[in-house]
Structure 1
Amino acid sequence: MGIKSFLGSRKKTQKDTPNIPIKVSDYMTRNLITFKSDQRIEQVIDAIIKNRISGAPVINDKNELIGVISEGDCIKQISESRYYNMPMDNDTVEKHMVKDVETIDGNMNIFDAANKFLASKRRRFPIIENGKLVGQISQKDILKAALALKGQNWKQ
């Protein structure tokens, strides 16, 4: 009797892997809700609630990023205005937005971006090209990318 192989049938390995998108720009959101620095905080709160977002970029008239405003920034404002018994009528985004904003390159690998999220504890990063805001990547976008790439070779 001959020697039998107990390894079972082997799948043929595919030498040509399909071109799978793994860049930040492939998964970022391009159609963004944005705010202007002179908008009132109450308008921001209303937009955050209506659009079910946790924050948004703040841009100037040239579509350049000048800051980010989040739910936390709005909550802090509400808390301070109630504590000091000050009306929120005249409070603008400029007074409460974060001005020193970290961004991500749209050409960055999606998994490098995931590591940047872990290191920075941020929920979103704006994407800038030629000085203009072109999109935003969120933690949820990273999760969507991971699901889309499930079962693929992630080392490309």
Structure 2
Amino acid sequence: MANTTIANNAPQKPIQEYTAREIMTSSLLAAHEAWTVSELAHFLVSNGITGAPVVDDDEQLVGVVSVTDVARFASMDREEDDKRGHHGYYTDSLDFDTRFDYLEEASEPHMEASTVADIMTPSVFDVDASTSVKRVAKEMVANGLHRVFVSDAGKIIGVVSALDILQIVTR
């Protein structure tokens, strides 16, 4: 994982003494709400990532999107009900296919006509940077989340995933 703030040789301390800021991944690539779904698929594939926060023209966070959202959209019958409101970005399986072959073929006409805003999850789960990792883990378990954003003064500055927490537990 890129840019996690904890070094492998950092002194060990109990998990309850870590904060979200200390274990978060700070490099976040954002998608834009106006991109087409095809542009989003290319962005995810070219960066080798499975999801991203979504921003508007003012760089304000408006949602999140994942490869699961793209795959669901690509395979969805056009007559199906809109499934917005789910939080798949946060609960995607940890067992994902990093080849993204299905995304590279995402060029059907409806993929060009629809935008990230059409398929993103508009709800955002975040914790303050000073939140203890123990509290973050409890929130993730209680809500069935695999990742949460980290904020400082209302601005998203990173993300904590279940794998980030497991890295601390296994040290």
| TM beyond 0.5 | yes
Match of 2:84 in 1: none
> What is the TM-score normalised by the length of structure 1?
0.72
Larger radius of gyration: 1
Number of aligned positions between the proteins: 131
With 49-58 and 107-116 compared, the bigger mean Cα shift is at 49-58
Match of 2:43 among 33, 40, 47: 47
Q: Which runs of 5+ in 1 are unaligned?
A: 1-17, 151-156
Residue in structure 2 matched with residue 74 of structure 1 by the alignment: 70
Greater RCO, CA 8 A, separation 6+: 2
2:118 maps to amino acid: K
In the TM superposition, residue 81 of structure 1 has moved relative to its aligned partner by 5.7
Which whole-Å deviations, capped at 9, do the CAs of 1:92-141 have from their partners, x for residues lacking one?
10111111212111111112211211111222211222232211111111
- Which residue of structure 2 lines up, in the alignment, with residue 93 of structure 1? 116
CA drift at 1:82: 7.3
| Identity, % of aligned positions | 26
**Cα RMSD, aligned residues only:** 2.4
Q: Deviations over 1:40-81 (max 9, x none)?
A: 112222232333322111123443211000122111110126
Task: State the distance in 1 between where 2:28 and 2:77 align.
Answer: 29
Q: Which runs of 4+ in 1 moved over 3 A?
A: 18-21, 81-86
Q: How does 1:20-35 map to 2 (within 5 A)?
A: 20=13, 22-35=18-31
Task: Give me the whole-angstrom Cα distance separating, in 1, the residues matched to 2:122 and 2:58.
Answer: 17
Q: Which runs of 5 or more structure 2 residues have no equivalent in the other structure?
A: 1-10, 81-107
Give secondary structure in 2 for the equivalent of 1:88. helix
Give the Cα–Cα distance (whole angstroms) in 1 for the partners of residues 71 and 50 of structure 2: 11
C-alpha contact (below 8 Å) 1:63/1:132 kept by paired residues: no
1:5-154, aligned counterparts within 5 Å? Answer: 20=13, 22-80=18-76, 87-147=110-170, 150=171
CA distance in 2, matches of 1:51, 1:120: 28
- Aligned AA (1:77): F
